[in-house]
Chains A and B, each alone.
Chain A
Amino acid sequence: MATTNQVGVNQHGYRTFQIGHFSFSRDEYFAHIEWPGGSHLMPVDRFLKALMRDVAWNFFYGIVNFDEIFGTTNHYGTVDIFAGLYNAGYRAQKKEYVENLDSVKARSIFEEMLDDWTVEGFDPFAAPAETGSAFGPKKGNNTRAVKRARVVAKRMAGMKGDTPLRNDQNGFPVNRQFQDVAQDEPEVHAEPGFEDEVHAFNFFGYLSRSDVTWNPSVCSAVKDSLVCPTTEEFALPVIHGNDRVEWFIQLSDEIQWEIADRDSGAPRARAVMKPGDVAAMPADIRHQGFSPKRSMLLVWENADPSLPELYARKKLKPNPVDF
């Protein structure tokens, strides 16, 4: 079946979308998803928050579960869109459904859906206390908010030609929950000719000015080693299923994580992380975080593109170290 993007506008004023054999529509409160042999609905605020991350992250690493039923799996060039694929109940009854699609086309339609379904005053990247309501009939849009690009530093944020630092002047004031974070800059004394190589910046200050939540963005890179800090508040709007090991380093405040088996969703552990705590997230788990106060988290990734296949074929163990 051909992939089309626009089917029509419904009585609530929203466009209906089709990707492969999946169709997507929204009303005043819910996103409705249908596929051959099944259907599902999600509160539309939760759906849009998950969709925002999936679009901004270009399907991220591994599995982005929008909830316990629906989500996407990144194959880096193609993407699986699924229903019930990582739900033990659906799998036991062979009720799961999955389609593999071209990533660029799927993302393009997701972007259109996100833009059309996000109403004026609602920012799916913001903390709940910082945004308006997602509900109601179609009323305007918030294109500026949903078109934010994920920051990806090539070497280090703030270097010449790299992603810029944040300040009041370029639209990034200190967040209301980080008003007490020091904004002093390091003393950088470069000899003539080395101004572009002697570089340092206030990393915590930079994070205190982030205007989004749950959005790991690359701040420094050492080959495939990517430091991807993020600021977190309330609940991670997706349940992330790993296709490789990643690590969390809690920089400030506290996050609690619910950790489950990646494929079945069976609970495995909880992690309580306080400042300075370090924990691996193994390659065979899914996790969702909860941050009572806005906090700073360093997500550390290995972007080696060969890893998903090595883990999937069990050439690598899901846990990072043995002791």
Chain B
Amino acid sequence: MGHQTRFGSLQNYEKGGIQTINDDPRNYAFSNIFEVAARSQPWEKVAVARNLKYVLEAIRAEDTSPWYAASHDEVATVMDGEVEIRLVKLENPLVAEDHEGTTMLEGNPKGKPMGHIVARRGHMALLPKGAAYQFRAARPGVILLQTIKGDLTIERWKEICQK
């Protein structure tokens, strides 16, 4: 008999949970990426994991995002849907080297087009340092972003985590 691999999606996810024996469930900051994205506005960057300055953000991908850049690499994994990523090599660095996290750019970036990526569920894409990037999603999807806590990171642990 074949095995069926189960993934989650915005439309179809089932949460597990923390069963405490002698503990506080808040120690585990338990949430679900799809639930967080389902309750988010498009392109909100909601931290679902934080390890000191580093974060993993759940992003609801829908329509066209602003342009972003960072002083370091970032990594986007599409957890649901299809996302187009456009990349532009910036003529001049728009983010200071010591400024960490994602920065939103005003308008369109100046620079040379680097190319674009069309990523679907389970695909991982590099958002390279020195590039501006923009996401597009014709239908709602979910991105898990590996980055550093920045100006755009939203922390709403009390709303998203098991208590």
Chain A residues with CB under 8 Å of chain B are 155-156, 159, 176-182, 184-191, 194, 197-205, 208, 219-225, 227, 244-247, 249-254, 259, 266-282, 293-294, 300-302, 304, 307, 316, 318-323
Q: With A200-B117, A225-B54, A304-B52 in contact, is A277–B21 under 8 Å at CB?
A: no
- Known A-B contacts A249-B56, A319-B26; the reply to A276 vs B113 at CB < 8 A is no
Q: Which of B20, B50, B75 has the most CB of A within 10 A?
A: B75
Q: Do residues B72 and A270 form an inter-chain contact, with CB atoms below 8 A?
A: no
Flag if B147 contacts A222 (CB, 8 Å). yes
Contact residues, B102-137 vs A (CB, 8 A): 112-126, 128, 131
Instruction: Find out whether the CB atom of A180 lies under 8 angstroms from the CB atom of B26.
Output: no
- For A307, the chain B residues whose CB sits under 8 A away are 52
Contact with B13, one of A191, A276, A279, A293 (Cβ below 8 angstroms): A276
User: Taking beta carbons and an 8 Å cutoff, which residues of B are in contact with A?
Assistant: 2-8, 13-23, 25-35, 48-52, 54, 56, 72-75, 77, 79, 85, 87, 89, 112-126, 128, 131, 144, 146-148, 155, 157-158, 161
Cα separation A249 to B48 with both chains bound (whole Å): 10
A36 to chain B, nearest CB (A): 35
Taking a contact as CB atoms under 8 Å apart, the answer to whether A220 and B124 are in contact is yes
How many Å from the CB of A155 to the closest CB on chain B?
7
Q: Which residue of B lies closest to A294 (CB)?
A: B3
Query: Of B113, B114, B146, which is within 8 A of A227 by CB?
Result: B146
Asked if A320 and B50 sit within 8 Å, CB to CB, the answer is yes
Q: How far is B138's CA from A277's CA once the two chains are assembled, in angstroms?
A: 25
Name the distance in Å between B124's Cβ and chain A's nearest Cβ: 4
Which residues does chain A contribute within 8 Å of B161, judged by CB atoms?
323
Q: How far is the CA of A294 from the CA of B6 in the complex (A)?
A: 10
- Are A186 and B119 in contact, with the CB atoms below 8 A? yes
Indicate which residue in B27, B29, B54, B120 contacts A278 across the interface (CB closer than 8 Å).
B29
Q: How far is the CA of A275 from the CA of B122 in the complex (A)?
A: 12
With the chains together, A270 CA to B30 CA distance in Å?
12
On whether A186 and B115 interact (CB within 8 A), knowing A249-B49, A254-B16, A277-B16, the answer reads no
* A201 CB, nearest partner CB in chain B, Å: 6
